[in-house]
A and B are shown apart, each in its own frame.
Chain A
Amino acid sequence: DTGVSQNPRHKITKRGQNVTFRCDPISEHNRLYWYRQTLGQGPEFLTYFQNEAQLEKSRLLSDRFSAERPKGSFSTLEIQRTEQGDSAMYLCASSLVSGATNEKLFFGSGTQLSVL
């Protein structure tokens, strides 16, 4: 158990619907990351937060995607007007940055999204 909690574990939705996922990082971790993973592939970076500030977004993160981390603790990832191509595992990871150059990311078990 890495300590990163993601809900829900599975989400099935119809094309065009909006979905929201939640991530609760390890409590003292100040960085939070979202990755997306499709079957047979490695995870792909989407975005990350340092405390409550969203500092970087991937080109993969279209305008239909929005992520928040309002109080620097939990984060939500919303996908609007879902498309079948959004079907994937959405992984959250957290880390503690305290001046060291190398972080260790701890991943949650992910939310598996299926868009019908």
Chain B
Amino acid sequence: GESVGLHLPTLSVQEGDNSIINCAYSNSASDYFIWYKQESGKGPQFIIDIRSNMDKRQGQRVTVLLNKTVKHLSLQIAATQPGDSAVYFCAETESGAGSYQLTFGKGTKLSVIP
């Protein structure tokens, strides 16, 4: 079936630099996308979401960009901090499908070098 995937399995960045995590999706019916952060031993934690009628959304130090033409999603983290070290997942769903059945990608491990 169609699924969400990630380009890079691991990413190392220097503390204070910006991080960009990418995600490709293939389900053209998906209209709602979410980024989750998962620290070791914990469940996924909601970071930011975006609907398909938007191409950019900003939060605190994070920005999500959506390019529907090429089915690409990215998460930008500004001034990356050691506490940002975690695995990041993108997830997608069809909001009109009646349930919140998220399809997660494989994950990108972000390591922040102090």
Q: Which residues of A contact B (CB under 8 A)?
A: 2, 4, 31, 33, 35, 40-45, 48, 55-56, 58, 91, 93, 95, 101-110
Contacts and interface: CB of A to CB of B under 8 A. Distances in A.
Interface residues of B, number: 24
B98 to A, nearest CB: 8
A32 to B, nearest CB: 11
A10 to B, nearest CB: 10
Contacts of A109: 41-43
Contacts of A33: 100
B68 interface: no
Nearest to B99: A56
B44 A91 contact: yes
A27 to B, nearest CB: 18
Given A91-B43, A93-B43, A106-B46, A43 B102 contact: yes
Given A107-B44, A109-B42, A110-B43, A102 B32 contact: yes
20 contacts: A41-B104, A41-B106, A42-B4, A42-B89, A42-B105, A42-B107, A43-B104, A45-B103, A48-B99, A48-B100, A48-B101, A55-B99, A56-B99, A101-B32, A102-B49, A102-B95, A103-B100, A105-B46, A105-B102, A107-B36
A70 to B, nearest CB: 20
B91 interface: yes
A108 B89 CA distance: 16
A2 B101 CA distance: 19
Nearest to A112: B41
Nearest to B41: A109
A13 B43 CA distance: 22
Nearest to B105: A42
Interface string B87-99: 0010100011001
B4, B42, B89, B105 — which one has the most chain A CB atoms within 10 A of its CB?
A: B42
A42, A93, A107 — which one has the most chain B CB atoms within 10 A of its CB?
A: A42
